[in-house]
Amino acid sequence: MAQQLKALKCEDPLPLSQSERLNSALISWFEEFGKDYPWRSTNDPYEILVSEMMLQQTQVSTVLDRGYYRKWLERFPDFEALSYAAEEEVLKAWEGLGYYSRARNFHKAAIAVMKDFGGVFPSDLSLIEDLPGIGQYTAGAVASFAFNAAVPAVDANIARVLARLFEFKERIDTSSGQKQLWEWASG
């Protein structure tokens, strides 16, 4: 893909012809190598958020092969069920995934969705970002996948693609590099 597309400086807009070629190349790559994950076949913000919370610092194989995703959805099928659970029950269900602050924050976010939004997950990016434990990437991912919002979701893989395609001079593992990537992705 890098050889097919002329590299640009990060401040340059992507010309339509290159944008179409990039889209085509990425879709072709996904059709050949992409994985079929259960959260890719839903637009339910809860199911998508479950995957995003579990996949922070945890490999996909752990989440799927050990049944965490499926078991979680069986035990807590929606924001309401999660919000009514005791924190101890939530932490027990999270056991084995590590980084228990994710579970605590997810529980707090479910309570906020029920209390502040009447059980309806907000589609507005800034409201999603205000929920406990949800950062810029997770908010963008949920807004994009659940609501088809045209907002960035820059994870480590996307950052590497953008950095190579647009010849970023800044290191992408620094706060200034991350800021530059997000500013560019936000358009």
Q: Which residues are catalytic?
A: 52
Backbone phi and psi for residue 76, each to the nearest 5 degrees, phi listed first: -125, 85
Q: CB-hemisphere CA count at 13 Å for 129? A: 10
C-beta pairs of 67-76 under 8 Å, 24+ apart in sequence: 68/96, 68/97, 69/38, 69/39, 70/38, 73/47, 76/110
